[in-house]
Amino acid sequence: MGVDVVRFAKQLSELGVVAQPRYIQKPAFECEVLRDRRTFGGSSVPFRGLKTRDDEVRYDRAEYPATLRALSRILVMPLNEFFRPEHIAFIVEAVHEAAEQCRRARV
């Protein structure tokens, strides 16, 4: 939609729909267990020493631009099997209104 996800989540929240920008804040390879290469015992797997290759696995943000772009665009919204049609209609209306407000703010 070309709208900042943080702004969109804020607009939705102001309209009564709980919404949070991003599901996770960083890619998995930046989480402690992968970043610090914690492995079971001294195996170093999956970071090195696989039978088919001995090269070291490296993670660099620059190599994953699509991952970072996707993470920056995720919007988490409520939805569950107990929502009735009127709940869904309320959320849909709020999404339309929030999108319109964000669009107007860009113009």
Region of poorest pLDDT, from 12-26, 42-56, 67-81: 42-56
Domain boundaries, the chain: 1-23+76-107, 26-73
**What's the predicted TM-score (pTM) here?**
0.68
Maximal C-alpha separation, the chain: 57
Provide the pLDDT confidence category of residue 56 given band limits of 50, 70 and 90: low
Assess contact for 5 and 74: CB atoms under 8 A. Answer: yes
pLDDT in tens, 12-35: 999 999 999 887 778 888 888 778
Cα separation of 87 and 19, whole Å?
A: 14
DSSP 45: T
Q: How far is CA 80 from CA 9, 46, 74, 77, in A?
A: 19, 36, 18, 10
Of 9 and 3, the structure prediction assigns the larger pLDDT to 9
